Structure 1
Amino acid sequence: MGLWEDAKNIRDKDPAARNVLEVIILYPGFHVLVTHRIAHFFYQKKLFFIARLISQLSRHFTGIEIHPGAKIGHKLFIDHGMGIVFGETTEIGDNCTIYHGVTLGGTGKDTGKRHPTLGNNVLVGAGAKVLGPVYIGDNVRVGAGSVVLKNLPANATAVGVPAEVVRVGNIKCCPADDLDQQALPDIVSNRISELEARLSRMEAKLQGEYPPDKPSRAQ
């Protein structure tokens, strides 16, 4: 499975792509996969300067920064791509989808393995940040704008800053582009509503307008 399969995968997943030739000629998400394979080859040969030179030239032309040390599986779909950053020890499984503005980066506090590992069929929404040596399980969905700082179990959907798991499915495999980014819960709004409801109950209880939690002994 090679670059031709990657190009066909982009064509299949992007409704705006008309054919494979268009993807090969016009899509920066495909171009960066080509240049990364070359840069990663030189990185593995310990020719680090050449590897970084290729990756930086690719960054200039595509707006996507992938360190040549990053490990990328088959059929990665980078949609739009502008502003994407993958750190040196990033690992990405097969059939993943990454939207623009995503960072798979470090926290600045770790050494060695410093960047995330994504399983298979993972989708990371626009502007999301996954930071540190965290593991993102298979079939995980990360909502747009979320900040992931801890491991996420397989089949989970996570949203928020910091991200929290809001849904866990029982599926074994699913398409990597099926995240409904409009139907995700607003964690902050939900927490505020819960606090307001709790405050109202406390005020009512203090004013004698709310029944006590437990009956008194006199009753």
Structure 2
Amino acid sequence: MFSRIKEDIKSVFDRDPAARTTFEVLTNYPGMHAIWIHRLSHKLWLADWKLLARMLSTFSRWLTGVEIHPGATLGRRFFIDHGMGVVIGETAEIGDDVTIYHGVTLGGVSWNGGKRHPTLEDNVVIGAGAQVLGPIIIGKGGKVGSNSVVVKDLPANATAVGIPGRIVNAKPTDAAEEKRQAAAKKFGFDAYAVSADNPDPVAKAIGRLLDHMHLMDDKVASLCKEVNQLGGEVCQEALPELRVGEFVEDEKAAAQRRQEHVESFDPEI
């Protein structure tokens, strides 16, 4: 049990740059609390203690704002970010390394018994406010954009956006796209299932900027290599690494200066 909790906490650090300490994750991540309580309620459900399982699930909903039916099956390193308003139905099945955000519903579209909720395969990302409905399959590595409504199967490595959800890219990820996604993830652009093929103009702009950065890096590297072969000594020092936290601290400092300026302003002058 404790090894699974340690694994869960590590997955939070891998996917949420706001996480700073283990104690913070243990005490301030309701999505993780809901998952940990669900593991107990799921065991009770399988042991045919269904009323007790439902009562524990209801307590978890009251405590965390996340409703997970005790019959749902959750994989390893599942991460619910923010958590509030998440609903996961009884027959939902979730694979490993899946991430979903607040306001997501994995619901049904029928009152009939049997399988009626979605299956999310490994490495799926569901953006905030998305509704994934019915006994459909979201393929491995699939992404659902924020506020989308998906009622049909999504192939592996595809992205669905809109109402109803439509596929905006279903091609296998090539080396260039992998490089772009790695850079986007580094700077946090990947958090809400933003894709370079997304019709969102902001997503397209981000994709173009990333492509431009990679192209310029390659050109500068080639130029440095040629100059050094001719006897020059350029590009000897590594470029400083960009960290999101540095920009956050700069923004905090700027906000503090603005506040000090407002407080020092005398309207009578």
- Normalized against structure 1, the TM-score is what? 0.80
Q: 1:180: which partner in 2?
A: 194
CA RMSD of aligned residues (A): 2.1
- Kept in 2: contact 1:139–1:155 (CA 8 A): yes
**Residue segments in structure 1 that go unaligned for 5+ positions in a row:** 187-219
Identity level (%): 52
**Matched residues in 2 for 1:94 and 1:72: separation?**
8
**Matched residues in 1 for 2:67 and 2:135: separation?**
18
- Kept in 1: contact 2:159–2:195 (CA 8 A): no
- Alignment counterpart, residue 123 of structure 2, candidates 121, 124, 138: 121
**Amino acid corresponding to residue 125 of structure 2 in structure 1:** L
- Kept in 2: contact 1:139–1:156 (CA 8 A): yes
1:1-219, aligned counterparts within 5 Å? 2-171=4-173, 178=190, 179-180=193-194, 184-185=198-199
- Kept in 2: contact 1:144–1:181 (CA 8 A): no
Q: Which has the higher helix share?
A: 2
Instruction: Compare 87-96 and 175-184 and name the one that shifted more.
Output: 175-184
State the SS of the aligned residue for 2:48: coil
Q: Which has the higher strand share?
A: 1
- Kept in 2: contact 1:126–1:144 (CA 8 A): yes
**Matched residues in 2 for 1:98 and 1:118: separation?**
10
State the SS of the aligned residue for 1:72: coil
Of structures 1 and 2, the one scoring higher in RCO (CA 8 A, sep 6+) is 1
**Matched residues in 1 for 2:45 and 2:113: separation?**
19
Structure 1 residue 181: Cα displacement = 6.5
Q: Name the CA shift for 1:181/1:169 in 2 (closer, same or farther; >3 Å).
A: closer
**Residue segments in structure 2 that go unaligned for 5+ positions in a row:** 201-269
**Matched residues in 2 for 1:119 and 1:61: separation?**
28
- Normalized against structure 2, the TM-score is what? 0.65
**Matched residues in 2 for 1:4 and 1:23: separation?**
11
Structure 1 residue 110: Cα displacement = 4.1
Q: What is the count of residue pairs matched by the alignment? A: 186
Segments ≥4 residues shifted beyond 4 Å: 172-177
**Amino acid corresponding to residue 173 of structure 2 in structure 1:** I
**Amino acid corresponding to residue 164 of structure 1 in structure 2:** R
Structure 1 residue 19: Cα displacement = 1.6
Structure 1 residue 46: Cα displacement = 0.7
- Kept in 2: contact 1:149–1:163 (CA 8 A): yes
Q: Name the CA shift for 1:182/1:28 in 2 (closer, same or farther; >3 Å).
A: farther
Structure 1 residue 184: Cα displacement = 2.4
- Kept in 2: contact 1:110–1:132 (CA 8 A): no
**Matched residues in 2 for 1:21 and 1:171: separation?**
37
